[in-house]
Protein backbone atom coordinates (compact mmCIF):
# COMPACT_ATOMS: atom_id res chain seq x y z
CA UNK A 1 0.00 0.00 0.00
CA UNK A 2 1.16 3.54 -0.60
CA UNK A 3 1.48 6.99 0.91
CA UNK A 4 1.51 10.14 -1.18
CA UNK A 5 2.60 13.34 0.52
CA UNK A 6 2.45 16.83 -0.93
CA UNK A 7 4.18 19.63 0.91
CA UNK A 8 7.44 21.51 0.98
CA UNK A 9 11.04 20.54 0.51
CA UNK A 10 13.08 23.34 1.97
CA UNK A 11 16.29 24.82 3.23
CA UNK A 12 15.87 25.35 6.96
CA UNK A 13 17.94 27.66 9.08
CA UNK A 14 17.45 26.45 12.61
CA UNK A 15 18.64 27.95 15.87
CA UNK A 16 17.88 26.29 19.19
CA UNK A 17 19.58 26.73 22.59
CA UNK A 18 21.60 23.64 21.68
CA UNK A 19 22.99 24.56 18.31
CA UNK A 20 22.48 25.93 14.82
CA UNK A 21 22.09 24.59 11.32
CA UNK A 22 22.21 26.60 8.14
CA UNK A 23 20.55 25.40 4.93
CA UNK A 24 19.56 22.12 6.53
CA UNK A 25 17.32 19.79 4.57
CA UNK A 26 13.78 20.59 5.65
CA UNK A 27 10.17 20.86 4.57
CA UNK A 28 6.93 19.12 5.42
CA UNK A 29 6.93 16.72 2.47
CA UNK A 30 10.49 15.67 3.32
CA UNK A 31 9.66 14.95 6.98
CA UNK A 32 6.35 13.24 6.18
CA UNK A 33 7.87 10.91 3.61
CA UNK A 34 11.02 10.14 5.61
CA UNK A 35 8.84 9.18 8.60
CA UNK A 36 6.26 7.27 6.56
CA UNK A 37 8.99 5.15 4.96
CA UNK A 38 9.55 3.30 8.25
CA UNK A 39 6.02 1.89 7.97
CA UNK A 40 5.44 1.80 4.23
CA UNK A 41 7.46 0.64 1.21
CA UNK A 42 5.76 2.80 -1.38
CA UNK A 43 6.08 6.46 -0.44
CA UNK A 44 5.61 9.17 -3.04
CA UNK A 45 6.65 12.78 -2.65
CA UNK A 46 5.15 15.84 -4.35
CA UNK A 47 7.03 19.09 -3.92
CA UNK A 48 9.06 21.70 -5.73
CA UNK A 49 12.66 22.83 -5.38
CA UNK A 50 14.85 25.29 -7.21
CA UNK A 51 18.08 25.08 -9.17
CA UNK A 52 20.05 25.38 -5.93
CA UNK A 53 18.78 22.11 -4.43
CA UNK A 54 21.89 19.96 -3.98
CA UNK A 55 22.16 16.40 -5.26
CA UNK A 56 23.19 15.19 -1.80
CA UNK A 57 19.86 16.30 -0.34
CA UNK A 58 18.01 14.55 -3.13
CA UNK A 59 20.11 11.50 -2.36
CA UNK A 60 19.07 11.54 1.32
CA UNK A 61 15.54 10.87 0.16
CA UNK A 62 16.31 8.75 -2.90
CA UNK A 63 18.57 6.42 -0.95
CA UNK A 64 15.59 5.67 1.30
CA UNK A 65 13.55 4.67 -1.74
CA UNK A 66 11.24 7.63 -1.48
CA UNK A 67 9.64 8.04 -4.88
CA UNK A 68 10.83 11.45 -6.16
CA UNK A 69 9.08 11.37 -9.53
CA UNK A 70 6.87 14.13 -8.17
CA UNK A 71 9.72 16.36 -7.02
CA UNK A 72 9.61 19.18 -9.53
CA UNK A 73 12.78 21.18 -10.15
CA UNK A 74 12.21 24.76 -11.28
CA UNK A 75 15.42 25.57 -13.07
CA UNK A 76 14.87 29.32 -12.93
CA UNK A 77 14.04 29.51 -9.25
CA UNK A 78 15.37 29.04 -5.76
CA UNK A 79 14.29 26.50 -3.17
CA UNK A 80 11.84 27.57 -0.49
CA UNK A 81 13.81 28.69 2.57
CA UNK A 82 12.72 29.12 6.17
CA UNK A 83 14.57 30.36 9.21
CA UNK A 84 13.41 29.83 12.79
CA UNK A 85 14.75 30.49 16.25
CA UNK A 86 13.53 28.52 19.27
CA UNK A 87 13.20 29.95 22.74
CA UNK A 88 14.84 28.51 25.81
CA UNK A 89 11.97 26.16 26.59
CA UNK A 90 11.67 24.97 22.95
CA UNK A 91 7.89 25.39 23.08
CA UNK A 92 7.92 28.67 21.20
CA UNK A 93 9.76 29.79 18.16
CA UNK A 94 10.12 32.93 16.10
CA UNK A 95 10.11 32.75 12.35
CA UNK A 96 13.18 34.68 11.26
CA UNK A 97 12.35 34.62 7.58
CA UNK A 98 10.23 32.83 4.99
CA UNK A 99 11.40 32.98 1.38
CA UNK A 100 8.70 31.32 -0.69
CA UNK A 101 10.79 31.32 -3.88
CA UNK A 102 9.61 28.46 -6.13
CA UNK A 103 6.75 27.69 -3.73
CA UNK A 104 4.99 30.90 -4.74
CA UNK A 105 3.96 29.45 -8.10
CA UNK A 106 3.79 25.77 -7.19
CA UNK A 107 1.05 24.06 -9.19
CA UNK A 108 1.73 20.36 -8.89
CA UNK A 109 0.89 17.93 -11.66
CA UNK A 110 1.04 14.40 -10.33
CA UNK A 111 2.94 11.71 -12.25
CA UNK A 112 0.45 9.17 -13.59
CA UNK A 113 1.95 6.46 -11.37
CA UNK A 114 1.09 8.52 -8.28
CA UNK A 115 -2.64 8.73 -8.78
CA UNK A 116 -3.66 5.46 -7.15
CA UNK A 117 -2.15 6.32 -3.74
CA UNK A 118 -4.02 4.83 -0.77
CA UNK A 119 -3.13 7.32 1.90
CA UNK A 120 -2.97 10.94 0.81
CA UNK A 121 -1.17 13.44 3.04
CA UNK A 122 -1.88 17.06 2.26
CA UNK A 123 0.98 18.77 4.07
CA UNK A 124 0.70 22.39 5.14
CA UNK A 125 0.32 24.42 1.91
CA UNK A 126 -2.11 26.78 0.20
CA UNK A 127 -5.48 24.99 0.51
CA UNK A 128 -5.97 25.56 -3.22
CA UNK A 129 -2.87 23.51 -3.97
CA UNK A 130 -4.05 20.84 -1.55
CA UNK A 131 -7.38 20.77 -3.38
CA UNK A 132 -5.69 20.42 -6.76
CA UNK A 133 -3.65 17.44 -5.53
CA UNK A 134 -6.74 15.82 -4.04
CA UNK A 135 -8.45 16.15 -7.44
CA UNK A 136 -5.62 14.20 -9.06
CA UNK A 137 -5.72 11.18 -6.76
CA UNK A 138 -8.20 8.43 -7.57
CA UNK A 139 -10.22 7.14 -4.65
CA UNK A 140 -7.72 7.24 -1.76
CA UNK A 141 -8.60 5.23 1.38
CA UNK A 142 -7.98 8.22 3.59
CA UNK A 143 -7.09 11.87 3.05
CA UNK A 144 -5.11 13.49 5.87
CA UNK A 145 -4.68 17.24 5.88
CA UNK A 146 -2.52 19.73 7.78
CA UNK A 147 -2.84 23.50 7.79
CA UNK A 148 -1.54 26.51 9.69
CA UNK A 149 -2.64 29.85 11.10
CA UNK A 150 -1.68 31.67 7.92
CA UNK A 151 -4.30 29.81 5.83
CA UNK A 152 -6.90 30.05 8.59
CA UNK A 153 -6.53 33.81 8.52
CA UNK A 154 -5.76 34.50 4.84
CA UNK A 155 -7.76 31.94 2.87
CA UNK A 156 -10.64 30.84 5.12
CA UNK A 157 -12.98 30.00 2.24
CA UNK A 158 -10.47 27.85 0.40
CA UNK A 159 -9.60 26.16 3.69
CA UNK A 160 -13.28 25.46 4.42
CA UNK A 161 -13.60 23.87 1.02
CA UNK A 162 -10.67 21.50 1.45
CA UNK A 163 -11.79 20.64 4.99
CA UNK A 164 -15.14 19.54 3.64
CA UNK A 165 -13.30 17.04 1.44
CA UNK A 166 -10.80 15.41 3.81
CA UNK A 167 -11.19 12.54 6.27
CA UNK A 168 -8.68 13.65 8.85
CA UNK A 169 -7.25 16.98 9.96
CA UNK A 170 -3.94 17.00 11.84
CA UNK A 171 -3.22 20.39 13.44
CA UNK A 172 -1.46 22.03 16.37
CA UNK A 173 -3.51 22.96 19.42
CA UNK A 174 -3.16 26.68 18.70
CA UNK A 175 -4.38 26.13 15.15
CA UNK A 176 -7.30 24.02 16.36
CA UNK A 177 -8.26 26.81 18.76
CA UNK A 178 -8.03 29.47 16.06
CA UNK A 179 -9.84 27.44 13.42
CA UNK A 180 -12.75 26.64 15.76
CA UNK A 181 -12.70 29.88 17.73
CA UNK A 182 -12.74 27.81 20.91
CA UNK A 183 -10.13 27.58 23.63
CA UNK A 184 -11.35 24.18 24.80
CA UNK A 185 -9.82 21.43 22.67
CA UNK A 186 -12.74 19.03 23.07
CA UNK A 187 -15.09 21.70 21.80
CA UNK A 188 -12.59 22.65 19.09
CA UNK A 189 -12.42 19.08 17.82
CA UNK A 190 -16.20 18.84 17.76
CA UNK A 191 -16.51 22.05 15.75
CA UNK A 192 -13.79 20.99 13.33
CA UNK A 193 -15.50 17.65 12.78
CA UNK A 194 -18.60 19.58 11.80
CA UNK A 195 -16.50 21.26 9.10
CA UNK A 196 -15.86 17.92 7.41
CA UNK A 197 -13.06 15.77 8.78
CA UNK A 198 -14.44 12.78 10.68
CA UNK A 199 -11.10 12.34 12.36
CA UNK A 200 -9.30 15.17 14.14
CA UNK A 201 -5.80 14.88 15.55
CA UNK A 202 -4.59 17.74 17.71
CA UNK A 203 -0.83 17.94 18.25
CA UNK A 204 0.28 19.50 21.53
CA UNK A 205 4.05 19.45 21.13
CA UNK A 206 5.74 18.27 24.31
CA UNK A 207 2.31 17.38 25.70
CA UNK A 208 1.51 14.77 23.09
CA UNK A 209 -1.48 14.46 20.82
CA UNK A 210 -5.21 13.88 21.01
CA UNK A 211 -7.26 11.81 18.58
CA UNK A 212 -10.97 12.45 18.14
CA UNK A 213 -12.77 9.81 16.09
CA UNK A 214 -16.23 8.31 16.27
CA UNK A 215 -17.33 9.36 19.73
CA UNK A 216 -13.98 8.50 21.26
CA UNK A 217 -10.99 10.44 22.47
CA UNK A 218 -7.53 8.91 22.63
CA UNK A 219 -4.38 10.50 23.97
CA UNK A 220 -0.77 9.75 23.37
CA UNK A 221 1.96 11.61 25.26
CA UNK A 222 5.10 12.93 23.73
CA UNK A 223 7.85 10.65 24.92
CA UNK A 224 9.57 12.36 27.88
CA UNK A 225 13.08 12.89 26.61
CA UNK A 226 15.99 14.22 28.57
CA UNK A 227 17.78 15.60 25.57
CA UNK A 228 15.75 17.48 23.00
CA UNK A 229 17.87 19.24 20.40
CA UNK A 230 15.44 20.63 17.86
CA UNK A 231 11.66 20.37 17.53
CA UNK A 232 11.70 21.26 13.80
CA UNK A 233 9.74 18.80 11.72
CA UNK A 234 8.36 16.83 14.68
CA UNK A 235 4.77 17.57 13.69
CA UNK A 236 5.38 16.54 10.08
CA UNK A 237 7.26 13.40 11.15
CA UNK A 238 4.30 12.65 13.40
CA UNK A 239 1.95 12.95 10.43
CA UNK A 240 4.23 10.74 8.34
CA UNK A 241 4.38 8.01 10.98
CA UNK A 242 0.63 8.24 11.42
CA UNK A 243 -0.03 8.02 7.68
CA UNK A 244 2.59 5.35 7.11
CA UNK A 245 1.09 3.10 9.74
CA UNK A 246 -2.43 3.57 8.37
CA UNK A 247 -1.26 2.66 4.87
CA UNK A 248 -0.57 -0.83 6.21
CA UNK A 249 -3.96 -1.30 7.87
CA UNK A 250 -6.72 -3.31 6.21
CA UNK A 251 -9.34 -1.31 8.08
CA UNK A 252 -9.06 2.23 9.27
CA UNK A 253 -10.95 1.84 12.52
CA UNK A 254 -10.47 3.23 16.01
CA UNK A 255 -7.84 0.64 16.95
CA UNK A 256 -5.76 1.25 13.84
CA UNK A 257 -6.02 5.02 14.37
CA UNK A 258 -4.79 4.63 17.95
CA UNK A 259 -1.84 2.53 16.82
CA UNK A 260 -1.13 5.06 14.07
CA UNK A 261 -1.12 7.89 16.61
CA UNK A 262 1.40 6.07 18.77
CA UNK A 263 3.60 5.31 15.75
CA UNK A 264 3.50 8.96 14.75
CA UNK A 265 4.43 10.06 18.24
CA UNK A 266 7.27 7.55 18.38
CA UNK A 267 8.82 8.73 15.10
CA UNK A 268 8.42 12.34 16.21
CA UNK A 269 10.27 11.57 19.43
CA UNK A 270 13.33 10.47 17.46
CA UNK A 271 13.11 13.54 15.26
CA UNK A 272 13.50 15.99 18.14
CA UNK A 273 16.53 14.20 19.56
CA UNK A 274 18.70 15.54 16.76
CA UNK A 275 18.82 18.55 14.46
CA UNK A 276 16.63 18.74 11.37
CA UNK A 277 15.90 15.28 9.96
CA UNK A 278 19.16 13.83 11.33
CA UNK A 279 17.32 11.81 13.98
CA UNK A 280 15.61 9.87 11.18
CA UNK A 281 18.76 9.05 9.24
CA UNK A 282 19.82 5.91 11.08
CA UNK A 283 16.49 5.01 12.59
CA UNK A 284 14.94 1.57 12.10
CA UNK A 285 11.47 0.13 12.50
CA UNK A 286 12.57 -2.10 15.45
CA UNK A 287 13.78 1.00 17.31
CA UNK A 288 10.40 2.61 16.71
CA UNK A 289 8.63 -0.48 18.02
CA UNK A 290 10.88 -0.47 21.07
CA UNK A 291 9.92 3.10 21.82
CA UNK A 292 6.26 2.16 21.42
CA UNK A 293 6.79 -0.41 24.17
CA UNK A 294 8.13 2.44 26.28
CA UNK A 295 4.98 4.43 25.49
CA UNK A 296 2.96 1.51 26.81
CA UNK A 297 4.92 1.53 30.05
CA UNK A 298 4.48 5.25 30.25
CA UNK A 299 0.70 5.28 30.04
CA UNK A 300 -0.70 1.89 30.97
CA UNK A 301 -2.66 2.02 34.19
CA UNK A 302 -1.78 -1.25 35.93
CA UNK A 303 -4.61 -3.76 35.66
CA UNK A 304 -3.64 -5.50 38.88
CA UNK A 305 -5.60 -4.22 41.83
CA UNK A 306 -3.31 -2.61 44.36
CA UNK A 307 -3.42 -4.36 47.73
CA UNK A 308 -5.43 -2.13 50.00
CA UNK A 309 -5.93 -2.25 53.72
CA UNK B 1 -5.31 4.49 57.54
CA UNK B 2 -5.13 8.26 57.69
CA UNK B 3 -4.23 11.40 55.78
CA UNK B 4 -3.12 14.59 57.49
CA UNK B 5 -3.04 17.75 55.39
CA UNK B 6 -1.66 21.10 56.44
CA UNK B 7 -2.33 24.09 54.23
CA UNK B 8 -4.72 26.96 53.87
CA UNK B 9 -8.43 27.40 54.37
CA UNK B 10 -9.38 30.54 52.58
CA UNK B 11 -11.88 32.88 51.05
CA UNK B 12 -11.40 32.80 47.30
CA UNK B 13 -12.57 35.43 44.89
CA UNK B 14 -12.60 33.73 41.53
CA UNK B 15 -13.26 35.13 38.11
CA UNK B 16 -13.21 32.94 35.01
CA UNK B 17 -14.70 33.53 31.56
CA UNK B 18 -17.67 31.48 32.77
CA UNK B 19 -18.58 33.22 35.98
CA UNK B 20 -17.55 34.74 39.28
CA UNK B 21 -17.57 33.78 42.94
CA UNK B 22 -16.90 36.05 45.86
CA UNK B 23 -15.72 34.73 49.24
CA UNK B 24 -15.97 31.14 48.04
CA UNK B 25 -14.66 28.42 50.30
CA UNK B 26 -11.08 27.80 49.22
CA UNK B 27 -7.58 26.91 50.36
CA UNK B 28 -5.16 24.05 49.76
CA UNK B 29 -5.96 22.14 52.97
CA UNK B 30 -9.68 22.33 52.19
CA UNK B 31 -9.22 20.96 48.65
CA UNK B 32 -6.72 18.30 49.72
CA UNK B 33 -8.90 16.96 52.52
CA UNK B 34 -12.15 17.13 50.55
CA UNK B 35 -10.52 15.12 47.75
CA UNK B 36 -8.74 12.68 50.05
CA UNK B 37 -12.01 11.84 51.82
CA UNK B 38 -13.24 9.95 48.77
CA UNK B 39 -10.42 7.42 49.29
CA UNK B 40 -9.84 7.57 53.02
CA UNK B 41 -12.09 7.56 56.10
CA UNK B 42 -9.67 9.28 58.46
CA UNK B 43 -8.71 12.68 57.07
CA UNK B 44 -7.25 15.34 59.35
CA UNK B 45 -6.97 19.01 58.50
CA UNK B 46 -4.46 21.52 59.90
CA UNK B 47 -5.07 25.15 59.03
CA UNK B 48 -6.02 28.49 60.50
CA UNK B 49 -9.01 30.76 59.93
CA UNK B 50 -10.16 34.06 61.42
CA UNK B 51 -13.21 35.20 63.30
CA UNK B 52 -15.01 35.78 60.00
CA UNK B 53 -15.01 32.14 58.94
CA UNK B 54 -18.69 31.18 58.67
CA UNK B 55 -20.17 28.11 60.35
CA UNK B 56 -21.63 26.94 57.05
CA UNK B 57 -18.16 26.64 55.53
CA UNK B 58 -16.97 24.69 58.56
CA UNK B 59 -20.04 22.51 58.09
CA UNK B 60 -19.11 21.75 54.45
CA UNK B 61 -16.03 20.02 55.77
CA UNK B 62 -17.43 18.69 59.04
CA UNK B 63 -20.41 17.07 57.32
CA UNK B 64 -17.95 15.09 55.24
CA UNK B 65 -16.30 13.79 58.41
CA UNK B 66 -13.10 15.69 57.85
CA UNK B 67 -11.40 15.93 61.22
CA UNK B 68 -11.27 19.64 62.07
CA UNK B 69 -9.60 19.36 65.47
CA UNK B 70 -6.59 20.97 63.84
CA UNK B 71 -8.49 23.92 62.36
CA UNK B 72 -7.34 26.78 64.54
CA UNK B 73 -9.60 29.83 64.85
CA UNK B 74 -7.79 33.11 65.58
CA UNK B 75 -10.48 35.18 67.20
CA UNK B 76 -8.65 38.46 66.63
CA UNK B 77 -7.88 37.94 62.97
CA UNK B 78 -9.37 37.54 59.51
CA UNK B 79 -9.30 34.50 57.27
CA UNK B 80 -6.69 34.31 54.52
CA UNK B 81 -8.20 35.68 51.32
CA UNK B 82 -7.12 35.31 47.72
CA UNK B 83 -8.48 36.72 44.50
CA UNK B 84 -7.65 35.41 41.04
CA UNK B 85 -8.73 36.09 37.51
CA UNK B 86 -8.35 33.47 34.78
CA UNK B 87 -7.61 34.26 31.17
CA UNK B 88 -9.72 33.15 28.26
CA UNK B 89 -7.87 29.85 27.83
CA UNK B 90 -7.93 29.06 31.60
CA UNK B 91 -4.25 28.13 31.49
CA UNK B 92 -3.08 31.39 32.96
CA UNK B 93 -4.36 33.46 35.81
CA UNK B 94 -3.54 36.74 37.47
CA UNK B 95 -3.52 37.02 41.21
CA UNK B 96 -5.69 40.03 42.00
CA UNK B 97 -4.86 40.12 45.70
CA UNK B 98 -3.45 38.00 48.51
CA UNK B 99 -4.41 38.98 52.06
CA UNK B 100 -2.42 36.72 54.36
CA UNK B 101 -4.31 37.84 57.49
CA UNK B 102 -4.14 35.03 60.10
CA UNK B 103 -1.83 33.03 57.86
CA UNK B 104 0.99 35.51 58.52
CA UNK B 105 1.53 34.19 62.06
CA UNK B 106 0.35 30.60 61.58
CA UNK B 107 2.37 28.29 63.81
CA UNK B 108 0.42 25.04 63.96
CA UNK B 109 0.42 22.82 67.02
CA UNK B 110 -0.98 19.44 66.09
CA UNK B 111 -3.68 17.83 68.24
CA UNK B 112 -2.22 14.75 69.95
CA UNK B 113 -4.61 12.51 68.02
CA UNK B 114 -3.16 13.77 64.72
CA UNK B 115 0.44 12.70 65.29
CA UNK B 116 0.20 9.12 64.06
CA UNK B 117 -0.98 10.04 60.56
CA UNK B 118 0.19 7.66 57.82
CA UNK B 119 0.17 9.97 54.86
CA UNK B 120 1.32 13.52 55.51
CA UNK B 121 0.45 16.21 52.98
CA UNK B 122 2.41 19.41 53.34
CA UNK B 123 0.31 21.78 51.28
CA UNK B 124 1.81 24.92 49.80
CA UNK B 125 2.95 27.06 52.77
CA UNK B 126 6.08 28.61 54.25
CA UNK B 127 8.60 25.73 54.22
CA UNK B 128 9.34 26.53 57.87
CA UNK B 129 5.74 25.79 58.78
CA UNK B 130 5.86 22.62 56.72
CA UNK B 131 8.98 21.60 58.62
CA UNK B 132 7.35 22.25 61.98
CA UNK B 133 4.37 20.06 61.07
CA UNK B 134 6.66 17.31 59.85
CA UNK B 135 8.43 17.41 63.23
CA UNK B 136 5.17 16.77 65.01
CA UNK B 137 4.13 13.66 63.07
CA UNK B 138 5.51 10.32 64.23
CA UNK B 139 6.88 8.08 61.53
CA UNK B 140 4.52 8.71 58.61
CA UNK B 141 4.56 6.17 55.77
CA UNK B 142 4.98 8.90 53.20
CA UNK B 143 5.46 12.66 53.27
CA UNK B 144 4.12 14.53 50.24
CA UNK B 145 5.02 18.17 49.78
CA UNK B 146 3.84 20.99 47.56
CA UNK B 147 5.46 24.40 47.10
CA UNK B 148 5.27 27.42 44.83
CA UNK B 149 7.43 29.97 43.06
CA UNK B 150 7.25 32.38 45.99
CA UNK B 151 9.10 29.97 48.35
CA UNK B 152 11.53 28.94 45.62
CA UNK B 153 12.52 32.58 45.24
CA UNK B 154 12.13 33.93 48.78
CA UNK B 155 13.15 31.08 51.10
CA UNK B 156 15.39 28.79 49.05
CA UNK B 157 17.36 27.53 52.07
CA UNK B 158 14.29 26.62 54.09
CA UNK B 159 12.82 24.98 51.01
CA UNK B 160 16.00 22.96 50.44
CA UNK B 161 15.81 21.77 54.02
CA UNK B 162 12.24 20.54 53.80
CA UNK B 163 12.89 18.93 50.42
CA UNK B 164 15.68 16.89 51.97
CA UNK B 165 13.13 15.47 54.41
CA UNK B 166 10.18 14.55 52.19
CA UNK B 167 9.45 11.47 50.09
CA UNK B 168 7.45 13.08 47.34
CA UNK B 169 7.25 16.53 45.82
CA UNK B 170 4.13 17.50 43.88
CA UNK B 171 4.59 20.70 41.88
CA UNK B 172 3.46 22.50 38.75
CA UNK B 173 5.62 22.30 35.67
CA UNK B 174 6.63 25.96 35.92
CA UNK B 175 7.68 25.43 39.53
CA UNK B 176 9.63 22.30 38.64
CA UNK B 177 11.45 24.27 35.96
CA UNK B 178 12.23 27.13 38.30
CA UNK B 179 13.28 24.93 41.20
CA UNK B 180 15.65 22.90 39.03
CA UNK B 181 16.71 25.68 36.70
CA UNK B 182 15.96 23.36 33.80
CA UNK B 183 13.36 23.76 31.07
CA UNK B 184 13.31 20.03 30.35
CA UNK B 185 10.94 18.27 32.74
CA UNK B 186 12.82 14.97 32.68
CA UNK B 187 16.00 16.77 33.68
CA UNK B 188 14.04 18.85 36.20
CA UNK B 189 12.65 15.74 37.89
CA UNK B 190 16.10 14.21 38.05
CA UNK B 191 17.57 17.31 39.67
CA UNK B 192 14.69 17.57 42.14
CA UNK B 193 15.13 13.93 43.12
CA UNK B 194 18.75 14.75 43.92
CA UNK B 195 17.45 17.37 46.38
CA UNK B 196 15.69 14.70 48.43
CA UNK B 197 12.29 13.50 47.26
CA UNK B 198 12.49 10.02 45.76
CA UNK B 199 9.17 10.59 44.06
CA UNK B 200 8.45 13.63 41.92
CA UNK B 201 5.04 14.44 40.49
CA UNK B 202 4.85 17.27 37.98
CA UNK B 203 1.40 18.70 37.35
CA UNK B 204 0.84 20.16 33.88
CA UNK B 205 -2.71 21.49 34.21
CA UNK B 206 -4.76 20.61 31.16
CA UNK B 207 -1.90 18.41 29.95
CA UNK B 208 -2.03 16.01 32.88
CA UNK B 209 0.73 14.93 35.22
CA UNK B 210 4.01 13.07 35.17
CA UNK B 211 5.26 10.70 37.87
CA UNK B 212 8.95 10.06 38.31
CA UNK B 213 9.75 7.22 40.69
CA UNK B 214 12.44 4.57 40.77
CA UNK B 215 13.79 4.76 37.25
CA UNK B 216 10.32 4.97 35.75
CA UNK B 217 8.19 7.67 34.25
CA UNK B 218 4.41 7.46 34.20
CA UNK B 219 2.01 9.86 32.62
CA UNK B 220 -1.65 10.51 33.22
CA UNK B 221 -3.58 12.98 31.07
CA UNK B 222 -6.02 15.50 32.37
CA UNK B 223 -9.41 14.20 31.40
CA UNK B 224 -10.49 16.04 28.21
CA UNK B 225 -13.58 17.92 29.34
CA UNK B 226 -15.87 19.94 27.16
CA UNK B 227 -17.01 22.22 29.93
CA UNK B 228 -14.38 23.56 32.32
CA UNK B 229 -15.69 26.24 34.64
CA UNK B 230 -12.88 26.98 37.07
CA UNK B 231 -9.42 25.45 37.50
CA UNK B 232 -9.06 26.73 41.08
CA UNK B 233 -8.03 23.99 43.48
CA UNK B 234 -7.52 21.35 40.83
CA UNK B 235 -3.87 20.89 41.80
CA UNK B 236 -4.73 20.55 45.47
CA UNK B 237 -7.61 18.17 44.75
CA UNK B 238 -5.16 16.17 42.66
CA UNK B 239 -2.78 15.97 45.64
CA UNK B 240 -5.65 14.96 47.91
CA UNK B 241 -6.82 12.17 45.64
CA UNK B 242 -3.22 11.02 45.23
CA UNK B 243 -2.61 11.02 48.99
CA UNK B 244 -5.98 9.52 49.82
CA UNK B 245 -5.42 6.61 47.50
CA UNK B 246 -1.93 5.97 48.87
CA UNK B 247 -3.27 5.92 52.43
CA UNK B 248 -5.17 2.76 51.51
CA UNK B 249 -2.21 0.97 49.97
CA UNK B 250 -0.29 -1.68 51.92
CA UNK B 251 2.82 -0.98 49.89
CA UNK B 252 3.77 2.29 48.29
CA UNK B 253 5.32 0.89 45.15
CA UNK B 254 5.30 1.93 41.51
CA UNK B 255 1.91 0.34 40.83
CA UNK B 256 0.23 2.00 43.79
CA UNK B 257 1.79 5.34 42.83
CA UNK B 258 0.43 4.99 39.30
CA UNK B 259 -3.04 4.22 40.60
CA UNK B 260 -2.76 7.13 43.01
CA UNK B 261 -1.84 9.47 40.16
CA UNK B 262 -4.88 8.41 38.17
CA UNK B 263 -7.15 8.83 41.20
CA UNK B 264 -5.73 12.30 41.77
CA UNK B 265 -6.29 13.24 38.16
CA UNK B 266 -9.85 11.90 38.25
CA UNK B 267 -10.81 13.91 41.34
CA UNK B 268 -9.18 17.00 39.83
CA UNK B 269 -11.25 16.55 36.68
CA UNK B 270 -14.45 16.84 38.70
CA UNK B 271 -13.13 19.88 40.52
CA UNK B 272 -12.70 21.95 37.36
CA UNK B 273 -16.19 21.18 36.11
CA UNK B 274 -17.71 23.52 38.67
CA UNK B 275 -16.68 26.63 40.60
CA UNK B 276 -14.52 26.40 43.70
CA UNK B 277 -15.03 23.10 45.52
CA UNK B 278 -18.61 22.73 44.26
CA UNK B 279 -17.66 19.90 41.91
CA UNK B 280 -16.68 17.83 44.95
CA UNK B 281 -19.89 18.39 46.90
CA UNK B 282 -22.02 15.63 45.41
CA UNK B 283 -19.25 13.45 44.09
CA UNK B 284 -19.00 9.77 45.00
CA UNK B 285 -16.26 7.15 44.85
CA UNK B 286 -18.15 5.14 42.18
CA UNK B 287 -18.23 8.22 39.94
CA UNK B 288 -14.50 8.59 40.42
CA UNK B 289 -13.95 4.94 39.52
CA UNK B 290 -16.12 5.39 36.44
CA UNK B 291 -13.96 8.29 35.31
CA UNK B 292 -10.88 6.17 35.89
CA UNK B 293 -12.32 3.63 33.46
CA UNK B 294 -12.62 6.51 31.01
CA UNK B 295 -8.95 7.34 31.64
CA UNK B 296 -8.11 3.75 30.70
CA UNK B 297 -10.03 4.09 27.43
CA UNK B 298 -8.30 7.37 26.83
CA UNK B 299 -4.74 6.09 27.10
CA UNK B 300 -4.66 2.33 26.60
CA UNK B 301 -2.84 1.39 23.43
CA UNK B 302 -4.84 -1.54 22.07
CA UNK B 303 -3.07 -4.85 22.67
CA UNK B 304 -4.67 -6.47 19.66
CA UNK B 305 -2.45 -6.36 16.63
CA UNK B 306 -4.06 -4.34 13.89
CA UNK B 307 -4.64 -6.39 10.75
CA UNK B 308 -2.04 -5.31 8.26
CA UNK B 309 -1.72 -6.04 4.59
Per residue in A182-234, pLDDT tens?
A: 999 999 999 999 999 999 999 999 999 999 998 899 999 999 999 999 999 99
Q: Are B208 and A207 an interchain contact pair (Cβ–Cβ within 8 Å)?
A: yes
- pLDDT tens for B152-184 read 999 999 999 999 999 999 999 999 999 999 999
ipTM of the complex: 0.90
**Domain ranges across chain B:** 2-298
Strand pairing category for B216-220 and B209-213: antiparallel
> Measuring CA to CA, which residue among A229, A241, A231, A251 is closest to residue A201?
A241
Cα gap B189→A122, rounded to integer Å: 39
pLDDT above 80 (res A306): no
The average pLDDT across A53-62 equals 98
- pLDDT tens for A101-153 read 999 999 999 999 999 999 999 999 999 999 999 999 999 999 999 999 999 99
What is the sign of the dihedral through the CA atoms of A40, A44, A46 and A52?
positive
Cα gap B71→B8, rounded to integer Å: 10
User: In this structure, are residues A108 and A66 in contact, taking their beta carbons and an 8 Å threshold?
Assistant: no
Instruction: Kindly give the residue spans of alpha helices, DSSP state H, lying in A139-203.
Output: 149-154, 156-163, 173-180, 185-194
Q: Identify the helix (H) or strand (E) that includes residue A45.
A: strand A42-50
Contacts of A225 in chain B (CB under 8 A): 184, 186
- pLDDT tens for B284-305 read 999 999 999 999 999 999 886 6
Q: Are B301 and A217 an interchain contact pair (Cβ–Cβ within 8 Å)?
A: no
Fold category of A2-298 in CATH? 3.40.1190
pLDDT band (50, 70, 90) for residue A91: confident
pLDDT band (50, 70, 90) for residue A305: low
Measured in angstroms, the CA of A75 and the nearest CA of chain B are apart by: 40
Rg (CA), chain B: 19
pLDDT of residue B212: 98
What is the sign of the dihedral through the CA atoms of B232, B233, B238 and B241?
negative
Report which DSSP code applies to A249. B
User: In this structure, are residues A199 and A211 in contact, taking their beta carbons and an 8 Å threshold?
Assistant: yes
Name the residue facing B308 among A250, A295, A307 (closest C-beta): A250
CA atoms within a 13 Å half-sphere pointing along the CA-CB vector of B159: 21
User: In this structure, are residues A138 and A22 in contact, taking their beta carbons and an 8 Å threshold?
Assistant: no
The average pLDDT across B33-40 equals 98
Contacts of B301 in chain A (CB under 8 A): 220, 258-259, 262, 292, 295-296, 299-300
Report which DSSP code applies to A43. E
Amino acid sequence: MSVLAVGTVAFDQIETPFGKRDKALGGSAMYITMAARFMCDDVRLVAVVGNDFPPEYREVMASRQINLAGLEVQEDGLTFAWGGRYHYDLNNRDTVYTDLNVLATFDPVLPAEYRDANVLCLGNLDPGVQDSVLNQVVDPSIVICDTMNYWIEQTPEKLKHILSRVDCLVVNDSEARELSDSSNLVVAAKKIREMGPEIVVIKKGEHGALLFANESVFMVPAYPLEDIQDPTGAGDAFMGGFAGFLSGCKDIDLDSLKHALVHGSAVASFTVEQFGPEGLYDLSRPEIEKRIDAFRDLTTIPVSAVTQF
